[in-house]
Structure 1
Amino acid sequence: MGKKQLWMVIAGLIMLNCLTVAFFLTKVSETSGALMNDEAVATIGKNTISRQDWLNELEARYGKDVLKEMIDQKVIEEMAAKYDIKISDRDVDREYRMLQTTYNSFSSKKQADEKKWKQQIRSNLLLEELLTKDVEVSKKELNSYYEKNKDLFDVPAAYHISHIVVKTKKEATKALKELAHGSSFSALAMERSNDEFSANEGGDIGYISEEDERNPVIYLQTAKKLKKGKYSKPLKVEQGYALIKLDGKISGVTYSFAEVKDQIRREIALDQMKKPASAATFWDDAKVDWFYGKDKETN
């Protein structure tokens, strides 16, 4: 909800992408010899691009960012242990739930990486606790913030859906008949759907809720009436006709003051600091020495 959750989503995506690149580079370096590094990964007429040239380019573009992310994670872990700071599973689950219901690009494939997302959330919360560990906020101020921003702690019910979008009702009806005869919804979406962004995901468009403005209102109205695993009749939409399938549901919840007071304290404290949350603050304390010297900034 709001800037904090959006920042967390972006941070999570960056982290996952960086770790993916780091893993790739590491695995190649462990298994590759000189011959493998000379292997051509692409040919353009008589010219070739070797694996080593490719890896050098990857390192030049992403190496510094990947290494910084890895260092930051270790720094956060070490500093949290030093100051005996812990984050409960309940806090991590609450933040993850908020992300699921407010960021509708959570598809089933992203959900398969739930462990990674939660690890990143825990790391973000640990960093926030480290940065604000010496900041005191009065109970009156905490209560006031909660009362003024209660809507931020109301997580709406969210429906995880997939869809198939076609141009005509005839096409939609045909797809509906195929589903009735046992065809896979995801397979039909990949084969028939005109929505190229979700087609490759088997029609998965993630979670939608009352706050969702990206999808037709009729999607939410219909999803509320469906049982998990069931699909709708053809629905008239701007692009033609659509079939939607309910993949899952998250019930709405309102978090009490007691449940979110630590989160509120962190948000108020971070706002007072007027600077981005960064693990680089603790590099000197953690005695970091890295390949790029004293420079802690990335481009």
Structure 2
Amino acid sequence: MKSTREYDNGQTKKRLKTKPVLIIMSILLVGNLLWFMAWLIPNNTSKVNDAEKVASIAGKIISKEQWMASMESIYGKEVLLDMVNAEVMEAAAKEYKIKVTDAEVDLELALIRSTQESASLQSYDEEVMRKEIRSRLILEKVLAKDIVIEDEAIKSFYDDNKNLYNTATSYRTSVIFISTEAEANEVVKELENGSSFEGLARERSADASSASLGGDIGYVSDGNDSVDAALVSAVQSTDTGKWSKTIALGDGRFAVAMVKSIFEGQSFSYEDVKDHIRRELALDQLPQSVTQEAFWKEFDADWVYSE
């Protein structure tokens, strides 16, 4: 059995630091898909043949039934796949007596928020994220359960990479990007007069990507090289639920930022993260990645898309 000292420490460090970003990118997609799932589930209080109108164009009606059928054809397979995988992992947890605590999920979330790349990741539902993290942790614990990693190796990695486990305070932020200072000042006045930040972002922000999400740009914190320093500074001095004054950005644009929530920075001790490190180093010993689908046969999983 190889010890941690024999690993390429640089590659392992990079994997541990960037893995949460890959997770969150997949979760963003999952979160959006799950939103549509609610519409794909039949409403038992409605009639089966109910042709409720959801839109009309030049007199032509689009029914709710047509709408749901279209969404199912586009998103149905992906949404059902996530649902099946989640249930398969719950069955695996029961079979192998695997437990995932809220503290473990909280740790993963904190590591995700602390990554520099997370600043460029946009809106997602945190509850969906927590469920996805739980499912992933079950999978990883099942895969790593028979791999032995010595405590000395784990402690050595922790001592060499403590910076990975000291997370900065992060701010869930929405931003309206504006081309001119005068227009940015107008946005501030509209907000003071009761206008919706989300609505103004969709209507007036010069950044199409965040505008479509009501201005949401994800988490901002010290060390986010992809976020303008002036924006970071403004966010740090803005209270939750409030917006900043006009911010002059380094690229010549202007912005108004709103802080949606604040997550205080944390310093995780060796005891806090030793199981996390043990699991990650154990997974490094696997010859290839394994997904939830590998457990379908064991737990008799089947679905309508089976060939």
Length-normalised TM-score, structure 1 = 0.79
Distance 1:176 1:235 in 2: 11
Partner of 2:113: 100
Distance 2:59 2:194 in 1: 47
Note closer, same or farther for the CA distance 1:245–1:3 as it changes in structure 2 (3 Å cut). Answer: closer
Give how far 1:262 is off.
1.0
Give how far 1:286 is off.
1.4
Partner of 2:168: 156
Letter in 1 for 2:285: Q
Percent of pairs identical after alignment? 33
Give how far 1:22 is off.
4.3
Partner of 2:279: 266
Distance 1:246 1:57 in 2: 36
Q: Structure 1 residue 287 and structure 2 residue 300: aligned? A: yes
Partner of 2:21: 6
Partner of 1:15: 30
Q: Structure 1 residue 218 and structure 2 residue 233: aligned? A: no
Give how far 1:10 is off.
3.1
Any residues of structure 2 matched to 1:198-209 within 5 Å, and which?
Answer: 198-209=210-221
Partner of 2:119, secondary structure, is coil
Partner of 1:137: 149
Note closer, same or farther for the CA distance 1:92–1:42 as it changes in structure 2 (3 Å cut). Answer: same
Task: Identify the match of residue 183 of structure 2 among 145, 168, 171.
Answer: 171
Note closer, same or farther for the CA distance 1:57–1:255 as it changes in structure 2 (3 Å cut). Answer: same
Which moved further from structure 2: 176-185 or 77-86? 176-185
Partner of 1:227: 239
Task: Identify the match of residue 268 of structure 2 among 255, 267, 288.
Answer: 255
Give how far 1:143 is off.
1.1
Preserved contact between residue 104 and residue 207 of structure 1 (Cα < 8 Å): yes
**Unmatched segments (≥5 aa) in structure 1:** none
Note closer, same or farther for the CA distance 1:199–1:53 as it changes in structure 2 (3 Å cut). Answer: closer
Distance 1:142 1:80 in 2: 25
Preserved contact between residue 159 and residue 209 of structure 1 (Cα < 8 Å): yes
Partner of 1:193: 205
Preserved contact between residue 153 and residue 255 of structure 1 (Cα < 8 Å): yes
Partner of 2:258, secondary structure, is strand
Q: RMSD between aligned alpha carbons?
A: 3.4
Give how far 1:239 is off.
4.7
Partner of 1:27, secondary structure, is coil
Preserved contact between residue 168 and residue 241 of structure 1 (Cα < 8 Å): yes
Note closer, same or farther for the CA distance 1:58–1:195 as it changes in structure 2 (3 Å cut). Answer: closer
Partner of 2:143, secondary structure, is helix
Preserved contact between residue 8 and residue 124 of structure 1 (Cα < 8 Å): no
Partner of 1:272, secondary structure, is coil
Preserved contact between residue 162 and residue 247 of structure 1 (Cα < 8 Å): yes
Give how far 1:36 is off.
4.3
Any residues of structure 2 matched to 1:120-135 within 5 Å, and which?
Answer: 120-135=132-147
Preserved contact between residue 166 and residue 193 of structure 1 (Cα < 8 Å): yes
Which moved further from structure 2: 71-80 or 211-220? 211-220
Partner of 2:284, secondary structure, is helix
Q: Structure 1 residue 90 and structure 2 residue 103: aligned? A: yes
Distance 1:276 1:187 in 2: 42
Listed one character per residue, the Cα deviations across residues 88-146 of structure 1 (whole Å, up to 9, x for unaligned) are 11111121223234323566x63xx3222211111111111111111111101111221
Note closer, same or farther for the CA distance 1:189–1:92 as it changes in structure 2 (3 Å cut). Answer: same
Note closer, same or farther for the CA distance 1:68–1:180 as it changes in structure 2 (3 Å cut). Answer: closer
State the aligned residue count. 289
Letter in 1 for 2:159: E
Task: Identify the match of residue 42 of structure 2 among 5, 23, 27.
Answer: 27
